[in-house]
Amino acid sequence: LPRCLDSILAQRIPVREIICIDDGSTDNTIQILRQYEAKHQHLFKIVQQENSGAGKARNRGLEMAQGTYVQFLDADDCLLPDKILNQLELIACRNGVELIAGNFTRINGESKELVQVFTEDPWIALIRGKLGCTCSNLFLRSSLVASGGWNINQKSSQEVELMFRLLGSGITVEYDTKYLTEVHVR
């Protein structure tokens, strides 16, 4: 969790809000979050809730978010310092972007795998598992809200189901071919 939070605070473009949803953790998560909140009170919003699953936790954060674009990040993953700035620059170059699908590095112990987005067709990319992932993508908040947000009944592959609905609604996709997100597999 500290690696994750430090990666957000290290972004080259200042983040405006950090919404942390503690979804019923039984370790020292809340103590760590409170330490960060004490140092950065103007940024942090912390919510504790009973364990309800990733979809419900992400929807809770989405409800609270004020920004135009939303970055989701799981506690064991991290962003490289240029991630959000790079994706906002891509948005600035192309009007109306609702989803930035980003490359990412999957890290499993000592093993690293580069996962590259497929840029020719977003539907084929989704089918191939090459339309980024929850943490490597940047979402237009209003498009997520209009789609109904995350499906709370989906136990796995939540981003695939969400992106299926988003693509079905006709969203505009842009691709980030830089590797600026690390997804840690445990």
Task: Give residue-wise pLDDT tens across range 33-81.
Answer: 999 999 998 999 999 999 999 999 999 999 999 999 999 999 999 999 9
Residue pair 76/186 in contact by the 8 Å Cβ criterion: yes
Helix intervals (H) in the chain: 2-9, 29-39, 54-64, 83-93, 122-128, 141-147, 158-168
pLDDT at 156: 85
Distance CA 167, CA 28 (A): 38
Q: What is the mean pLDDT of the chain?
A: 95
Residue 4: pLDDT band with limits 50, 70, 90:
very high
First to last CA, the chain: 13
Q: Does residue 157 carry a pLDDT above 90?
A: no
pTM: 0.94
Q: Does residue 186 carry a pLDDT above 90?
A: no
Residue 24: pLDDT band with limits 50, 70, 90:
confident
Tell how strand 173-176 and strand 99-102 pair up: parallel
- Mean pLDDT, to the nearest integer, of 153-182? 95
